[in-house]
Amino acid sequence: MNQQSIVDAAVGHIQDASKGDSSGHDWWHIYRVWRMAIRLAAAEQADLYVVQLAALLHDIADWKFHDGDLTAGPRAAEAWLKSQQADPVTIEHVCQIIAQLSYKGAGVATDMSTLEGRVVQDADRLDAIGAMGIARAFAYGGHDRRLLYDPDDPPELHASAQAYRNSRGATINHFHEKLLLLKDRMQTATGRALAQQRHAYMEGYLGQFHAEWEGER
């Protein structure tokens, strides 16, 4: 199969695999990350074929839905790409990106080793912040039966991936444990520029949330 055929097949495969998802990891999340990754790839002059495949397949087997198994995604992506007869170099690169992509806690570095990885990681993280990030945070919180907010349970800046995976904090904690930290973890110039406004929007939202919580507005 040629490159465009494999990209098209990935679109169809992920659309089918993510049907009915209500956790914020549905096809439309993948679509937004894919489109943003294309935009970033053009600005940063990254390999568009690798970027598209990694963006489309980045949540093919998310660890959050596979008992915390960080290898599930790369293994699933590798198997699918082999079934499409993708070339070995591309398969290795895409799987490396997927393996390195996820946020693993405030105290855990998740720097990407290639430009294409940095592009896809920034695209994914942009969808985790701003108005879309707020919506997705609460969608996942409800899906995972997390409290909306508990003033007696403060956020924790997790020092290890294991601590982050084991966390059961309220959804508002997630803003402080991850989402508000992402602006300074963007790895492309374009991603950093786009993150500024989305970050400011979240800060404004949280200010309003806490004021309403206390009956001040």
Residues 38-92: pLDDT tens digits?
999 999 999 999 999 999 999 886 656 556 567 888 999 999 999 999 999 999 9
pLDDT of 205: 98
Q: Is the pLDDT of residue 34 over 80?
A: yes
Does the domain formed by 3-213 have CATH 3.30.565.10?
no
How confident is residue 111, by pLDDT bands cut at 50, 70 and 90?
A: confident
pLDDT of 67: 61
Average pLDDT, integer, range 93-116 = 91
CA-angle at 191, arms to 186 and 197, nearest 5°: 100
Q: Is pLDDT above 70 for 112?
A: yes
Residue 12 has pLDDT above 80, yes or no: yes
Average pLDDT of span 14-43? 91
Q: Long-range contact list for 38-41, CB < 8 A, 24+ apart?
A: 39/123, 39/190, 40/119, 40/122, 40/123, 40/188, 40/190, 40/191, 41/116, 41/119
pLDDT score of 91: 96
Angle, in degrees to the nearest 10, between helices 48-57 and 88-101: 50
pLDDT of residue 137: 96
- Across all residues in the chain, what is the average pLDDT? 92
**Which pLDDT band, with edges at 50, 70 and 90, does 120 fall under?**
very high
What's the average model confidence in pLDDT over 166-189?
95
Q: What is the pTM of this model?
A: 0.93
pLDDT for 65 equals 52
- Domains of the chain: which residue ranges? 3-213
Contact 80, 60 (CB under 8 A): yes
Q: Report residue 86 CA to chain centroid gap.
A: 24
